[in-house]
């Protein structure tokens, strides 16, 4: 009997649960009507169902921005760009939101070649680099097959050139994918969600204050100790903050 009740309860929940598309439409409706808090809650339900996309984070970021929660808005735009690095709408809204942050920190200068390489590596997501690797690999296989089975000398020369170029490009792209994966695994970033926070010199509430940061600031995460994280700002400043005041990208 109890088992039957649980099955009926599960079926009822499944029937009344809204699909991500329905939730997106409802969230957009709330947003257009100026009900930004309701829009936030609706978009969050989509994420709660395990669905993520640049579009969801874009809409959620916009709703947070309109609600006056700048830190949460920047966090959402950054999460969206992690999934879709070349999304122009996310990039534009992120710049608008960042322009309203209190902290204006100058990044430590990098060598041109390092900045160029990092820009190239992060220009595409891991899935996009993986797709390119697979595509070039198939081009290489087809070129090799044409070279061995073509009876025309001209086709053989073209396929040999194509396979040589494909192999060289494949090696470069595999390296880029490898670096991108390692970068993703080794480097974590966070956004401060609280309006103002005093960074500590040690992972202790009673510790001395190192410096003050404000909502929306981005930092790299270097270490964890219980409920504390060690952060580094782009200008080199280091300190400790509580996990509860930040969102990890």
Q: Provide the domain limits for residue 150.
A: 112-186
| Sign of the CA dihedral running 36, 41, 42, 48 | positive
User: Looking at the structure, do residues 34 and 92 belong to the same domain, yes or no?
Assistant: yes
Q: For residue 210, with 0-12 CB atoms within 10 Å meaning exposed, 13-18 middle and 19 or more buried, which class applies?
A: middle
The pLDDT, as a whole number, for residue 171 is 95
User: Looking at the structure, do residues 181 and 194 belong to the same domain, yes or no?
Assistant: no
Tens digits of per-residue pLDDT, 38-73?
999 999 999 999 899 999 999 999 999 999 999 999
Tens digits of per-residue pLDDT, 91-119?
999 999 999 999 887 766 667 887 888 88
Entry pTM:
0.69
Say if residue 11's pLDDT is above 70: no
- Three-state SS for 191? strand
Tell me how far apart the alpha carbons of residues 27 and 34 are, in angstroms, rounded to a whole number: 11
Q: Is residue 18 part of a domain?
A: yes
Q: For residue 90, with 0-12 CB atoms within 10 Å meaning exposed, 13-18 middle and 19 or more buried, which class applies?
A: buried
- Of 45, 66, 98, which residue sits at a domain end? 98
Q: What is the CATH number of the domain that holds 55?
A: 1.25.40.10
User: Looking at the structure, do residues 119 and 181 belong to the same domain, yes or no?
Assistant: yes
């Amino acid at each position: 009997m109890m088992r039957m009740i649980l099955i009926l309860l599960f079926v009822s929940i499944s029937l009344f649960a809204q699909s991500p598309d329905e939730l997106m439409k409802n969230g957009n409706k709330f947003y257009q009507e100026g009900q930004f808090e309701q829009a936030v809650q609706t978009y969050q339900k989509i994420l709660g169902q395990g669905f993520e996309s640049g579009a969801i984070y874009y809409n959620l970021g916009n709703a947070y921005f309109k609600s006056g929660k700048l830190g949460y808005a920047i966090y959402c735009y950054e999460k969206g760009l992690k999934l879709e690095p070349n999304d122009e709408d996310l990039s534009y809204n992120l710049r608008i939101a960042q322009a309203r942050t209190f902290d204006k920190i100058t990044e430590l200068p990098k060598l041109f070649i390092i900045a160029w390489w990092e820009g190239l590596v992060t220009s595409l997501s891991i899935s996009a680099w993986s797709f390119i690797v697979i595509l070039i690999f198939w081009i290489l296989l087809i070129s090799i097959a044409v070279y061995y089975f073509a009876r025309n000398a001209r086709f053989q020369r073209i396929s040999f050139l194509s396979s040589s170029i494909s192999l060289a490009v494949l090696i470069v792209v595999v390296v880029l994918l490898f670096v991108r994966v390692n970068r993703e695994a080794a480097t974590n970033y966070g956004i401060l969600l609280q309006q103002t926070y005093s960074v500590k010199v040690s992972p202790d509430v009673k510790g001395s204050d190192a410096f003050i940061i404000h909502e929306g600031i981005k930092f790299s995460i270097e270490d964890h100790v219980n409920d504390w994280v060690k952060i580094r700002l782009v200008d080199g400043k280091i300190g400790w903050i509580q996990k509860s005041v930040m969102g990890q990208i």
